[in-house]
Amino acid sequence: MAVREKKYRLPPSNKALFVSAPMGPKGTTRRLSPRAIENLVKKYAVAFGKPALSVHKLRHSFATRYQAENNDIPKLRRQLGHSSVQTTMIYTHLSNDELKKKQLIIWMAMMMTKTNSK
């Protein structure tokens, strides 16, 4: 945090994660807007050959992975800033479908093993 405060001349009370470089005659630093962050993600996604990547997809990927690893929906709801658990469940729906597919694959493999061992 010391480097951040020195480079961007931020007061310790400023808790913004993404800030702009000092600009203007006063050299003020501001919190990046949501649109500015979207533009940065788009810029780097194209640069890395992933033009379809978006902030929403990153958010969805985070939610899916978090739910799969931690299975703590109330905590995930707070992380995403949702007021409703039902909204958070929309993000984890794909994960549950994937889990069902994996369970089916495992079951089929077990059945094949039983058949082949006879």
- Residue at 91 is within a domain: yes
Secondary structure of the chain: what % helix, strand, coil (to 5)? 65, 5, 30
- Residue at 80 is within a domain: yes
Whether 25 has a pLDDT exceeding 60, the answer reads yes
- Residue at 4 is within a domain: no
Average pLDDT over residues 17-27: 80
- Residue at 5 is within a domain: no
pTM for the full predicted model = 0.60
- Residue at 81 is within a domain: yes
Cβ count within 10 A of residue 64: 18
Whether 109 has a pLDDT exceeding 70, the answer reads yes
Determine the structural domain holding residue 110 and report its residue range: 51-116
For 62-91, what is each residue's pLDDT tens digit?
888 888 788 788 899 999 999 988 888 877
pLDDT at position 102:
61
- Residue at 93 is within a domain: yes
Domains contained in the chain, number: 1
Q: What angle do CA 54, 23, 51 make, to 5 degrees?
A: 15
Alpha-carbon Rg for the chain, nearest whole angstrom, is: 22
- Residue at 22 is within a domain: no
Tokens of 110: 């077990």
Whether 50 has a pLDDT exceeding 70, the answer reads yes
pLDDT at position 89:
80
Average pLDDT over residues 34-38: 92
Close Cβ partners of 54 (under 8 Å, ≥ 6 residues apart): 38, 41, 42, 45
- Residue at 65 is within a domain: yes
pLDDT at position 93:
63
CB 55 within 8 A of CB 37: yes
